[in-house]
Amino acid sequence: MRALRIGTRGSALALWQAEFVRDWLARAGVTAEIVKIRTAGDQFQQGSVAAIGAKGVFIKEIEDALLARTVDLAVHSLKDVPTEMPDGLVLAAIPERNDPRDCLVSRSGEGLKTLPRGARVGTSSLRRQAQVRRARPDVDVRELRGNVDTRLRRVEEGTLDATVLAYAGLRRLNLDGRVTEVLSPEVMLPAVGQGALAIETREDDRETRDCLVAFDHAATRIAVTAERAILARLEGGCQVPLGAWARVENGRLLLDACVCAVDGSEVVRDTTTGSTEAPGELGRSLGEQLLAAGADRLLRLAGR
């Protein structure tokens, strides 16, 4: 087996994820090196991700490197991966998912319910902005870009009173001791694919794909397939006010999803359950239910 080249972004979290895969490959007897690649999302740190105006802003350059054969596999946060894959590329493995929930880090140690009126809460995610405003319409939600360290520093310095982050990312970086509150899915449904990694390869690279088969986690792939099917039906990218959470319990697939008005004034939310044999169908069906209940109007207002 040849030495493999792993393409990744250069942030601390992205490098942790790539190192996690490299170490797993090493235990399987496969040598790999990490290749850092700067993406459009990394280059444009000012303003919202939505304002950049493209899907896949955190992975496109890495996918270009895959197609150019300068790397052999790529490690992404699955929530950054659009539902439409470029021709010739596949998600060869989706490892077991970490905790999908969001969390709050506040300067005062207050939780979301007890933050003072007017508290400045930073996040660049329309989904998080909408659900924070719905839970606490009296706080001041502000745009916040940057890596995990940057966001935490803004809170430490007092520029912001709190920020909302993916709990899995803080756990991976051993920063979960900074968490003030892990947010219940009843309060904040996570992003599609949040907490899961995606290992992408070329479809024709059978040797690399064979190395990754054992890394794929069946229950995780079933769950995120259902979530991504909702996203595909709603024709959304990673920057839409959509939350979704699927999980396998007692042999059945449970799926919750919501679409929110960005100002938090409205939400369309529904749940369903079905067989694990057809997760894509279950996700598309729930997407249809959301649209029938008015989700399309909220997405148009959000600028989808």
Q: What pLDDT sits at residue 67?
A: 97
pLDDT tens-place string over residues 92-122? 999 999 999 999 999 999 999 999 999 999 9
pLDDT tens-place string over residues 127-143? 999 999 999 999 999 99
Local confidence band at 254 (pLDDT 50, 70, 90 cut-offs): very high
- 228-301 CATH, one of 3.30.160.40, 3.40.1440.10, 3.40.640.10, 3.90.1200.10: 3.30.160.40
Q: Write down the catalytic residue from 80, 102, 161, 205.
A: 80
Mean of pLDDT over the chain: 93
User: Can you name the CATH fold of 102-182?
Assistant: D-Maltodextrin-Binding Protein; domain 2 (3.40.190)
- Please compute the mean of the pLDDT values over residues 71-78 and round it to a whole number: 97
Task: Specify the CATH architecture of the domain 4-95+195-216.
Answer: 3-Layer(aba) Sandwich (3.40)
pLDDT > 70 in the chain, percent: 93
- Position 176 pLDDT exceeds 50: yes
Task: Provide CATH 3.40.190.10 ranges for the chain.
Answer: 4-95+195-216, 102-182
- Please compute the mean of the pLDDT values over residues 205-230 and round it to a whole number: 97
- Position 124 pLDDT exceeds 50: yes
Q: What pLDDT sits at residue 304?
A: 55
Report pTM: 0.92
296 is catalytic: no
Q: Are strands 120-122 and 162-166 parallel, antiparallel or unpaired?
A: parallel
Q: What pLDDT sits at residue 303?
A: 73
